Chains A and B, each alone.
Chain A
Amino acid sequence: MSQKKSTPDFLLILLTFSLLAIGLIMVYSASAVWAEYKFHDSFFFAKRQLLFAGVGIIAMFFIMNVDYWVWRDWSKVLLIICFVLLVLVLIPGVGMVRNGSRSWIGVGAFSIQPSEFMKLAMIAFLAKYLSEHQKKITSFKQGMLPALALVFAAFGMIMLQPDLGTGTVMVGTCITMIFVAGARISHFVGLGMVGLAGFAGLVLSAPYRIKRITSFLNPWEDPLGSGFQMIQSLYAIGPGGLLGLGLGQSRQKFFYLPEPQTDFIFAILAEELGFIGGSLVLLLFSLLLWRGVRIAFGAPDLYGSFLAIGIISMVAIQVMINIGVVTGLMPVTGITLPFLSYGGSSLTLMLMAIGVLLNISKHARY
């Protein structure tokens, strides 16, 4: 299987760095007012994001040089560790509650989100499973069902926190991987039906999810409650127009949009840089997707192919959900925009995932 190593995909590195640069600028622009108010240092968030980016880039280049089969060999162990962490995080006193979800584990700045790690561990493990059981994937019982059972077990654990955003991204990613592996379309249709019913059940079981659904359909119904973030986001995007108000000129970042540097950073970007700027970011993500799929095409083996498509679809799905939420296409779920949103663990994990992708690209033949 081993091939002669070639160079990594430089365009992928360039795209990643471009998005990182835009992200750093936007984190500064969006957070400056808030940072000045809270910490009397307008660079507070920007400096930390720069630090995360530095750590992330180092990790990315390090992992780029770790042959990706390591992840196949260690995937089972990683998956088990992640499951244990997902159990631990649910225990009050061990897991910490932030924004209504018990998703964090650790101490202060050194806390992590096990669900974020689970996403990656699951991709690594599922790629291994699919590459080893590809022959049986057309069989529902023997190929698809075990994979799905594992994925939904993890999803179930994540939903206990609850963290709908991360869970959805993980499920979406895994289904994409199973799809690429060659599962039957008819199985997906059936699965879709079940999924729809399951989603409806989930929504009905927790009232706050219903509110999120209705607030997305008409945020002005409850402008100070469930519709608040949506409205504030639209108040940013709408006035942006074609060319935007200009970099740094956002009005909604003046405490109207809560924590504008995190999940809703794209709204501030669209406000300041307009439709042109927003479209450029979407174009960059589309190109990133293209490079990712291209690496999957060129991967020397099925494992590399599935791992690559898993990583790139995770990035793409997270982008779709985040910007879908920000523009009002979807109910608010609360996930970050890869490379752009402020946040240490999100950014470093994303860069590490790109590192894996880069390593595959080094082995790829097109």
Chain B
Amino acid sequence: MRVSNVTVRKRLAAVLLIGVLIFSIIDIRLGYVQLILGDGLTEKAKNSWSRSIPFEPKRGEILDRNGVPLATNMSAPTVYVVPRQVENPAETAEKLAKVLNMPVEEAYKHVTKKTLIERIPEGRKISNEKAREIRDLNLKGVYIAEDTKRYYPFGSYLSHVLGFTGIDNQGLTGLELYYDKELKGHKGSVEFYSDAKGKRMPNMADRYTPPTDGLNLELTIDSRIQTIVERELDIAEAKYNPDGIIAIAMDPNTGEILAMSSRPTFDPANYRNVPSEIYNRNLPVWSTYEPGSTFKIITLAAALEEKKVNLLKDHFYDPGYVKVAGATLRCWKRGGHGSETFLEVVQNSCNPGFVALGERLGKEKLFDYIKAFGFGQKTGIDLQGEGTGILFDMKRVGPVEQATTAFGQGVSVTPIQQVAAVAAAVNGGILYTPYIAKQWIDPETGEVISRNTPKAKRRVISEETSKQVRFALESVVAQGTGKGAFVEGYRVGGKTGTAQKAKNGRYLKDDYIVSFIGFAPADDPKLVVYVAVDHPKGTVQFGGVVAAPIVGKIMEDSLRTIGVKPRKGQIEKERAWNDPKVVEVPNLEGLTKKDLQEQLFNLKLDVSGEGDVVIDQAPQPGVKVKEGATIRVYMGTKSGSR
């Protein structure tokens, strides 16, 4: 068969038809992409074109309850390089490296990096002086951006509670981490459209979103009390060279933490200088250990609430040990305390006496109260890394476990649990959730955005029982093991504790945590202070000897600072032979020099000022001071006196 021209003509027509058909299909596809997919593609394309330059918000400051800044921000400029704008990379790198103290090759790598904006690590958060040096170099493509660095004006002060931030001002530990979201605020940005090489594209508008600064956090901490606590811990650390110290001060009527500190401590600015377990563990809430005798307060409160004991009328005989289910539990005093009232049992911290109280309560009641006082669960304080502690498994509590628990052995608790529990025992019976964030403040307006209020968990004991506990514990300080915490006029109550440290289920030899938990004034407690010293050296390891005086000091200065008036009707201190005598300061005003020499037989004088008549004195008349203490008097003329 011969192909005719007709076939060729037909086929040519077919080619034209098919060709036009394919062009039409392509045109339909073009229309589909442009008109139907268009909007979606435009959105995606815009994302690919837009570049966003972040605007850092200012991190909220942390203040104490009186507005004293504890964590604030410091200007710390940061060097940015826009590699595309650098004219002479070699020279720029060399000059930058010199100021920033880095290898030239490193600097060169950053300066020539193919990126929109490059941050040189060594150029982050530098000093204002260095920033000025770089600015003076006048390098093309090198910019200094305003940035901030966290600054802790008091150094290691309150460092565990405050924590610290990382290079991006993000909270890493402590409150900085716990409240990071509120403190950090929200980043803002400038979004602009750029070409693929990072240059601004013409004819497209920028979008600016301003940053929202973080909120200022006002704490329940009272820096005045914190200062006192820090000072006392420094002294104790120097004196006893302990493995660690823990201190908490709390308002028992609200759960507000007024001070919290521990040793070893660290400076947030140089946290890398200490092992991570030091800055990561806030011991007052983290550590768990056997409380020892401070735990007896719980047994006492429970027994009183359940009316199982009359402190003054009921008597107990302590032979120095007690046999429980075949086991012999010894009293800390060899030979025992003999016959004593239950008030004396408390004063003497007599173990067999508390075993008896535990037996009167019974296992169920005893553990009910322990749990009601908040042991065995977290207090819920707003701090990172709180411990839970361990109680005996109820199924495994036999007579021995019950007995040891009654005097504070075989249980494991945290310091903050003890503080919260004792606060409940003395404040009238209400257990509060301890807290440390008082309120959030708008940094611009100073307006309070939100406020934390005291959170009562439950009533644990009655007002009346609480009153009896206060009385018993005041007598511990005035007449019992807690004399070291006695403060003239402030009616300190409290309880000592000495707990043998355990490791791998065995007690360590000669290694104790000695503690004291105190409150004052006993008629209306304003302050609960707990101090524990871990393995003090060069001393008898007794809570009454080591920890009680620290609490006493903290109590005395803190109560005076926050304006609590000294009380009358204090239980008088029972004097030991080595106790210094206390005398009342007489009124010296109006006396002449001659009078003074005759009057003051048991006090020293520090006289200043000109004149022959006393016009002022310190301490004021009526204050009790140790015998031989110095009284400062100021002399003036009679007419000048008030």
Contacts and interface: CB of A to CB of B under 8 A. Distances in A.
Contacts of B38: 238-241
Given A179-B11, A237-B34, A251 B45 contact: yes
Interface centre among B2, B5, B14, B23 (most CB of A within 10 A): B23
B580 interface: no
B12 A235 contact: no
Contact of A180 (B1, B12, B22, B203): B12
A286 B41 contact: no
Contacts, number: 136
B3 A137 contact: yes
Nearest to B33: A237
A135 interface: yes
Contact of B34 (A180, A238, A255, A282): A238
Nearest to A276: B34
B8 A182 contact: yes
Contacts of B5: 302
Interface string B33-67: 11101101110110011000000000000000000
Interface string A326-338: 0111000000000
A135 B5 CA distance: 11
B30 A323 contact: yes
A37 B197 contact: yes
A290 B21 CA distance: 12
A305 to B, nearest CB: 6
Nearest to B195: A254
Contacts of A181: 3, 8, 11
B334 interface: no
- The residue among A37, A181, A234, A274 with the most chain B CB atoms within 10 A of its own CB is A234
B37 A256 contact: no
Residue from A182, A249, A305 whose CB has the most chain B CB atoms within 10 Å: A182
Given A137-B3, A179-B11, A293-B15, A320 B26 contact: yes
B26 A239 contact: no
Interface string B10-25: 0111111001101101
B201 interface: yes
Contacts of A237: 30, 33-34, 41
A239 B42 contact: yes
Contacts of B20: 286, 289-290
A234 B33 contact: yes
Interface in A252-291: 252, 254-256, 270, 274-275, 278-279, 282, 285-286, 289-290
Given A251-B193, A251-B201, A289 B19 contact: yes
Contacts of A320: 22-23, 26
Contact of A309 (B1, B12, B31, B33): B12
Contacts of A176: 15
A324 interface: yes
B314 interface: no
Given A37-B197, A309-B12, A324-B26, A275 B42 contact: no
B12 A238 contact: no
A28 interface: no
B40 to A, nearest CB: 7
Nearest to A237: B33
A270 B2 contact: no
A255 B22 CA distance: 31
Contact of B12 (A37, A135, A293, A324): A293
B1 to A, nearest CB: 6
A176 B33 CA distance: 29
Interface string A171-215: 000001001111000000000000000000000000000000000
Contacts of B30: 237, 270, 275, 278-279, 282, 323, 327
A134 interface: yes
B291 to A, nearest CB: 61
Given A238-B42, A313-B19, A305 B8 contact: yes
B105 interface: no
B564 interface: no
A286 B27 CA distance: 11
Contacts of A313: 15, 19
B7 interface: yes
B33 A305 contact: no
B196 interface: yes
B45 A282 contact: no
A296 interface: yes
A324 B22 CA distance: 10
Contacts of A289: 16, 19-20, 23
B17 to A, nearest CB: 9
B41 A235 contact: yes
Nearest to A306: B8
B7 to A, nearest CB: 4
B34 A242 contact: yes
Contact of B7 (A37, A182, A240, A278): A182
Interface in B465-504: none
Given A237-B30, A256-B196, A282-B23, A251 B49 contact: yes
B29 interface: yes
Contacts of B201: 251, 254
B568 interface: no
A135 B26 contact: no
Nearest to A257: B196
A324 B12 CA distance: 23
B45 A235 contact: yes
B9 interface: yes
Interface of B: 1-3, 5, 7-9, 11-16, 19-20, 22-23, 25-27, 29-31, 33-35, 37-38, 40-42, 44-45, 48-49, 193, 195-197, 199, 201, 203-204
Given A235-B48, A255-B197, 5 more contacts: A134-B3, A180-B11, A251-B49, A256-B196, A302-B8
24 contacts: A37-B197, A135-B2, A138-B3, A180-B12, A181-B8, A235-B45, A237-B30, A237-B41, A238-B33, A238-B41, A239-B42, A240-B34, A240-B38, A241-B35, A251-B193, A251-B195, A254-B199, A255-B197, A286-B20, A289-B20, A293-B15, A319-B23, A320-B22, A324-B26
Which are the 10 A-B pairs with shortest beta-carbon distances?
A: A238-B41, A254-B195, A255-B196, A182-B3, A235-B45, A293-B16, A239-B42, A182-B7, A180-B11, A275-B34
